[in-house]
Amino acid sequence: MSNFINSKIPKITEMRSYFRLYGLSVVLFLLVSFELLGQNNDLSFPIRTQYYNPPIHIRKLPAALSETSGLIYYNGLFWTHNDSGGEPKIYGIDTLKGKIIQTIHLNASHKDWEDIAQDDDYIFIGDFGNNLGTRNDLCIYRIKKEQIPQQGDVSLTPEVIRFRWDKSLETSLPDRKTNFDCEAMFCLHDRLILLTKNWGNQRTSIYSLPKIPGDYSPVFLLDFNANGLITGADFLEDDQTLALCGYKSYVPFIWLIKDFQTIDTRGWTALRLELDDRAGSQTEGICFGPAKSLYVSSEATAFYPALIFKLDYPALSSRLPLRGEDVFSYQYVFDNEQLRIITSCKKIKNYKVQILDNKGNILKEKKMKCTGNMDVNVWPLHESNKKMILRMKGGKYEVTSILDSDFL
C-alpha cells in the first residue's frame, strides 16, 4: 500500500518539528485518541483501552526497506519485505541495528506483498494487498526454511497458494472503500489465518486457508470491530495471544487478544493500545521476538523513517482485563445428599454464591465477603433436580459452572 501520510498530506516533510513546536500534534493526537474510546460496543469480550508510547528499537531501517510491510523473527534475524512496488525479495536484518544481513530473492511476481508468517517448516509471504477490491490473482508464496542457507543470499522458486474472495463483488467501489483488502496473516495449527483490512466499516473479518499449495476460497470464521485498519498479525502459541497492529486517523494502535480462538469472540480478553504519541507512523508488521518481546515495523512517512518499535509484552499482558475465572475459584462435591462448595475470590470486596436450576431459577443464594480465605457452603440437594448451575457474581465479574452429581 502506498504511504498513507504522503498520499493525504503532501509536502509536509518538515511539519513534524512544526507540530511539536506549537503543540498542535498533541491536540490532534488527543482528539483522535479520545474519539476511538468506547466505540467497541458490539464486542462480546472484555476489553481495556490504554495509551502507550513504545520506545523505538531500530531508529532507521535501510533505504531498501522504506516500505517495510510484514515482520517475523526467525533464525536470529528479523525478516521483512516491501509492499506494492517492491522487489520480490525478503530481507533478513540484524535485530539491533537493522542492517541487511541476508536477501532471499523469490522467482515470483510482486504486486502487493503485505504480510509474512511462519510455522516450523515454512515461511509464507502474502501477495494479497487489494486496495480497490478488484484483484482476482491473490496468492500466498511458500518457501521451505531448510532451503534458506545459514549465510549468504539465494534465489528460490516458491510454491503458490492461490485464493479468491467469495464476496469480492465490490468492484465498483472507490479506492480505499472495499472491505476485501487484506494485510495481515498468521499460522494457526494447520491453517493460515487471514484478517481483512476493512476500509469501508473499520472492522476485520477472519478467514482461514489451508497451508498447502492449491486454489481456494477462504473460509469465513468470524469478524469483530477492529475500530481501525488491521495491517499485521502474529500469534504467540505459548500464551494463546494474538497481536495485531494497525492505524486509524493517522494514529497507530496495537491489539493484544488473549485466549484467541476462531469459534467466536466469547472467551477472548483484549488490551487495545493507542499509540497516540507515535501519530504519523504507519505500523505495518508485528511479531513476537526474543524473551517474548513484541516488535512492530513502520514504513517511512513524512514524519518518521522506516523503523521498528519494541514493546514489553510480558508487562503489557498483565494489563489485560480480568475475567470471572481470574477473580473466583471454587471446588465442589456432592456428599450425603448435600452439595458442599468451597469458594474464594480476589480483587473485589463482596460477592454472591448462587445455585440455579437448569431453567435459570435461583434455588439458593448467599452473600459473601471476599476475605481471601476459603469459604465453605453446604446446601441440601434440590430433590427434583440434581443437575444445577453454580454462579458466582461480584462487581462486573461473574463465573458459572454446571454442577452434575451424576458424574461424581
pLDDT tens-digit readout, 24-60: 333 333 333 333 333 444 557 889 999 999 999 999 9
Phi, psi of 370 (to 5 degrees): -85, 90
Mean pLDDT over the full length of the chain: 86
Predicted TM-score of the model (pTM): 0.80
Q: What is the pLDDT of residue 14?
A: 35
Is the model more confident about 109 or about 325? 109
For residues 278-287, give the mean pLDDT: 97
pLDDT (0 to 100) of residue 15: 36
pLDDT for the residue numbered 167: 62
| Amino acid 224: pLDDT | 95
Neighbours of 292 (CB within 10 A): 14
Using a pLDDT cut of 90, give the percent of the chain over it: 61
User: Edge-to-edge, what's the strand order for the sheet holding 241-248?
Assistant: 47-51, 269-274, 251-258, 241-248, 229-236
Tell me, what's the pLDDT at 132?
85
d(CA 198, CA 248): 11
Q: What would the DSSP string read from start to end of 288-326?
A: E-GGG-EEEEEE--SS--SEEEEE-HHHHHTTSPP-HHH
**pLDDT, mean of residues 92-104:** 98
The owner of cell 497481536 is 243
Lowest mean pLDDT among 62-76, 202-216, 360-374: 360-374
Question: What burial class does residue 10 get, using C-beta atoms within 10 Å of its C-beta: 0-12 exposed, 13-18 middle, 19+ buried?
Answer: exposed
Distance CA 378, CA 333 (A): 10
Whole-number pLDDT of residue 339: 79
Q: So what's the pLDDT on residue 406?
A: 56
In this structure, the number of other CB atoms found within 10 A of the CB of residue 346 comes to 11
* 196: nearest Cα among 287, 131, 117: 131
Q: Is 253 helix (H, G, I), strand (E, B) or coil?
A: strand
Other CB atoms within a 10 A radius of the CB of residue 208 amount to: 18
d(CA 140, CA 106): 12
Is residue 304 within 8 Å of residue 253, measured between CB atoms? no
Does the pLDDT value for residue 343 go beyond 60?
Answer: yes
Angle, vertex CA 109, rays to CA 107 and CA 114, nearest 5? 115
Task: Classify each residue of 245-278 as buried b or exposed e, where b means 16 or more C-beta atoms within 10 Å of its C-beta.
Answer: bbbbebbbbbbbbbbbebeebeebbbbbbbbbbb
The secondary element (H helix, E strand) that includes residue 58 is: strand 56-58
Sign, Cα dihedral of 1, 92, 88, 304? positive
- Radius of gyration, CA atoms only, the chain: 25
pLDDT digits (tens, 9 = 90+) for 356-389: 887 888 888 889 888 876 777 777 766 545 678 8
Q: How many CB atoms lie within 10 A of CB 13?
A: 11
CA–CA distances in Å: residue 261 to residues 49, 265, 383: 21, 7, 39
Question: In whole angstroms, what separates CA 352 from the centre of its chain?
Answer: 35
Task: Give the sign of the dihedral formed by CA 17, CA 23, CA 25, CA 26.
Answer: positive
Q: Which domains does the chain have, with CATH numbers?
A: 47-318 (2.120.10), 328-403 (2.60.40.10)
- Average pLDDT over every residue of 104-118: 98
* pLDDT for 3 beyond 80: no
Q: Are strands 214-216 and 159-163 parallel, antiparallel or unpaired?
A: parallel
How far apart CA 368 and CA 22 sit, in angstroms, is 55
Encode pLDDT of 135-185 as tens digits: 889 999 999 999 999 999 999 999 999 999 986 555 556 777 889 999 999
Residue 334's pLDDT is: 80
- 3-class secondary-structure state, position 276: helix
CA distance 315 to 347: 19
In terms of pLDDT, which residue wins out, 263 or 166? Answer: 263
At residue 235, does pLDDT exceed 90?
Answer: yes
Would the pLDDT of 2 be above 50? no
Q: Which residue has the cell 427434583?
A: 384
Alpha-carbon gap, residue 405 to 166, rounded angstroms: 48
